[in-house]
Chains A and B, each alone.
Chain A
Amino acid sequence: MIIIEDLVRRFGSFTAVGGISLRVNKGEVLGFLGPNGAGKSTTMKMITGFLAPSEGRITVCGHDVVEQQFEAQSAIGYLPEGAPAYPDMTPVQFLEFIARVRGLKDDAAKKAIETAIVRTGLQSVLEQRIETLSKGFKRRVGLAQAILHDPPVLIMDEPTDGLDPNQKLAVRNLIKAMSANKAIIISTHILEEVDAVCSRAVIIDKGRIVADGTPSELLARSPTRRLDDVFRSLTTPDTEIKAEGAL
């Protein structure tokens, strides 16, 4: 459902994504792993059409993200990093706005909003302004917005960041429950999450894929059988980059 071919993204002279190719099928939950600044968010921003690729092609459900932007975007639910939402709206108003923009009308909109509210557990805060909500609820509003139109493709940038353990579990269960008939990409740097929800993990470093496989395949790469060690052996720590720069 998601096909990425030789994706490159440059910001001036800096190459954030340096040639990524990926295929994500229906039923897969792909965990996007990598240190901060590895290019995870940039890649997601290109899949969702927020940033234009410098080179390469992205196809979502058969639609080229650049050529057929709106068809592709209609098939995607996206939770951007930090779950931005309009602070002056209540969750209900916000979801009504998203439903309208997504072209859902009357009964279909009402039903979609109700389902999203139940799935993300927003019932208790429906009439509060989003700016007054806790971080956990704000994240759930973002999730509700992403799953509202029941998209075949779901892209979530750090969906459990800043949540407490109970909330993390709830979000992971939600992702698992939806995974059967969707192609899902989540980015994270919480390694236990990969084990918990992902059917496949891709580790990227400095804009390139350095490992791709099921969580157990990745574990097999390390003698200690720990994902932390796999991650550390494959990626470049921040401090090392700084040390090189200082020379």
Chain B
Amino acid sequence: MSFWNSTLAVYRRELSGYFATPVAYVFIVIFLLSIGAFTFYFGQFFLTGKAQLDVFFGFHPWIYLFLLPAISMRLWAEEQKSGTIELLMTLPVPVMAAVVGKFLAAWVFSGIALALTFPMWATVNFLGDPDNGVIFASYFGSWLMAGAYLSIGSCLSSLTNNQVIAFVVSVVVCFMFTIAGHNMVLDFFQGWAPTFLVNAISSFSFLTHFNAIMNGVIDLRDLVFFGSLITLSLFINAVVIDLKRAD
């Protein structure tokens, strides 16, 4: 039984699980409504008079911050609570395959929700002549960022069998990653911390990296940042699950 076979089996089970329950539909509807409300109400999308979507993408981190932990909170906490973890871990499935399979399902699911915002893209193209390259880069960056939120949430979910705890802690940790580059945070450190530390903290900011991609430049550094954050979170996730065997 190869690694990818196991991963694929877990992935398929998980993804169909979203659509077997109302979770998928409720999530997608709330996601689209909130992103629409933010863009048109608070973002004054029409008043800006510009054929671009940066107002729309600008709200993504904040919407992800609250909605994606709701997806990731159950990934491992639920298995541990209901005892199905014992079933899963006694099947010949490598822990990492289960971790990756579950994460991929959640990530693809968030991608489906994101793709369903295509009427926004259609609207700007109908009304004006936007730079579609920038828009696709932003979509890609947004999805990558969603993966980072989900991997952190998945990792934290493995630490508890309580979904509420997993949700709350994920929101807090994701919030810190989101605003790490904000002046409010940096000012706090600037007075006493050495420059390299301040720079390190600001370089962990989701907003900084996402804004860079939103400008239409897919820089290798931003890809590496999100990619390695996802990898690291999933690795810790697998280690946590594995440690519970010997606990």
Picked from A52, A74, A82, A93, the residue with its CB within 8 Å of the CB of B245 is: A52
- B199-222 with Cβ < 8 A to chain A: none
Picked from B9, B12, B82, B86, the residue with its CB within 8 Å of the CB of A50 is: B86
- How long is the Cα–Cα vector from A98 to B1 in the complex, in angstroms? 12
- B11-41 with Cβ < 8 A to chain A: 12-13, 16-17, 20-21
A73 touches B86 (CB 8 A): no
- How long is the Cα–Cα vector from A87 to B13 in the complex, in angstroms? 12
B91 touches A51 (CB 8 A): no
Q: Across the two chains, which residue of chain A brings its CB closest to B10? A: A101
Q: Across the two chains, which residue of chain A brings its CB closest to B9? A: A100
B9 touches A84 (CB 8 A): no
Measured between beta carbons, the chain A residues less than 8 angstroms from B1 are: 70, 74, 101-103
Picked from B5, B87, B93, B247, the residue with its CB within 8 Å of the CB of A85 is: B87
B90 touches A84 (CB 8 A): no
Picked from B10, B17, B83, the residue with its CB within 8 Å of the CB of A88 is: B17
- State how many angstroms separate the Cβ of A133 from the closest Cβ of chain B: 15
B89 touches A101 (CB 8 A): no
- State how many angstroms separate the Cβ of A30 from the closest Cβ of chain B: 18
A101 touches B83 (CB 8 A): no
- How long is the Cα–Cα vector from A48 to B85 in the complex, in angstroms? 13
Q: Known contacts being A84-B83, A88-B21, A103-B5, is A98 close to B91, with CB within 8 Å?
A: yes
Picked from B6, B16, B17, B82, the residue with its CB within 8 Å of the CB of A101 is: B6
Measured between beta carbons, the chain B residues less than 8 angstroms from A52 are: 245-246
**Does A143 interact with chain B (Cβ within 8 Å)?**
no
| Contact residues of B: prevailing secondary structure | helix
**Does A49 interact with chain B (Cβ within 8 Å)?**
yes
B92 touches A73 (CB 8 A): yes
Measured between beta carbons, the chain A residues less than 8 angstroms from B84 are: 84-86
**Does A89 interact with chain B (Cβ within 8 Å)?**
yes
**Does B94 interact with chain A (Cβ within 8 Å)?**
yes
Q: Across the two chains, which residue of chain B brings its CB closest to A86? A: B84
Q: Known contacts being A89-B20, A103-B5, A145-B87, is A97 close to B245, with CB within 8 Å?
A: no
B90 touches A87 (CB 8 A): no
Measured between beta carbons, the chain B residues less than 8 angstroms from A86 are: 13, 17, 84
Give the interface residue-count category, chain B.
20 to 34
Picked from B12, B13, B17, B91, the residue with its CB within 8 Å of the CB of A73 is: B91
Q: Across the two chains, which residue of chain B brings its CB closest to A47? A: B90
A101 touches B245 (CB 8 A): no
User: How many A residues touch B, CB cutoff 8 Å?
Assistant: 32
Measured between beta carbons, the chain B residues less than 8 angstroms from A71 are: 92
Q: Across the two chains, which residue of chain B brings its CB closest to A51? A: B245
- How long is the Cα–Cα vector from A49 to B242 in the complex, in angstroms? 11
Encode A42-85 as 1/0 by CB contact (under 8 A) with B: 00010011111000000000000000011101101010111011
Q: Across the two chains, which residue of chain A brings its CB closest to B245? A: A52
Q: Across the two chains, which residue of chain A brings its CB closest to B23? A: A88
Most A-side CB within 10 Å, residue of B84, B91, B246: B91
- State how many angstroms separate the Cβ of B16 from the closest Cβ of chain A: 7
- How long is the Cα–Cα vector from A103 to B247 in the complex, in angstroms? 29
- State how many angstroms separate the Cβ of B6 from the closest Cβ of chain A: 6
Give me 7 A-to-B residue pairs in the complex whose CB atoms sit less than 8 angstroms apart, sorted by A's number. Answer: A51-B245, A74-B92, A80-B90, A84-B87, A89-B20, A100-B12, A101-B93
- List A residues at the B interface (Cβ < 8 Å): 11, 45, 48-52, 69-71, 73-74, 76, 78, 80-82, 84-89, 93, 97-98, 100-103, 129, 145
Please list the 5 inter-chain residue pairs (A to B) with the smallest Cβ-Cβ separation, ordered nearest first.
A84-B83, A100-B9, A70-B92, A48-B90, A73-B92
